[in-house]
Amino acid sequence: MKRFKYWFASTIFILLLSTSVYADSINTLQKQILAEAICVALNPSANWTFAVARNCELSSPPCEQVCAGLSEEQAGNLKCFNSLHIYGNSPFHNFNDFNQLGLKVFKYNSCSGGACGPNYCCCSGWGVKNLEKNNPSTMK
């Protein structure tokens, strides 16, 4: 499972880079794809994982509340396990730019950050039925 997570995150990251080589910054869809890949790789459990975009305002609730307020048919009620801030910087302009900074991401290792801290929440859930039925590693 760990090997799959790294493969998945690497594949998504390469796809993300290949679509933004000539762009000045990454767009919302690219940020969502990157956030999903990071959240899947960071999730310590084998369960459903979601990257939820969070509004970056002073009055925005922390990721703990954002995830707790969401549910999904298979995953059930969600819980936060981490949060991220993905920046829209332009890391390079072509594949020949070596030894340059890449995309900037801050990992909070927390779900309690508020205001304009995290702009993505990493949420997960086991599901509303028994764990055996919702665990993808046991599905056939």
The alpha carbon of residue 6 and the mean position of all alpha carbons in its chain are separated, in whole angstroms, by 13
Which of residues 123 and 6 earns the better pLDDT score?
A: 123
CB 54 within 8 Å of CB 85: no
Q: Residues 10-19: pLDDT tens digits?
A: 555 554 444 4
Q: Which residues have C-beta within 8 Å of that of residue 34, sequence separation ≥ 6?
A: 12, 13, 16, 26, 86, 103, 105
Residue 35, Ramachandran bin (φ over 0: left; ψ between -120 and 50: alpha; else beta): alpha
Average pLDDT in the chain: 81
| pLDDT above 90: residue 86 | yes
Kindly report the pTM of this predicted structure.
0.73
Most confident of the following: 51-55, 114-118, 130-134: 51-55
pLDDT value, residue 136 = 56
d(CA 128, CA 12): 29
For the chain, domain boundaries: 2-138
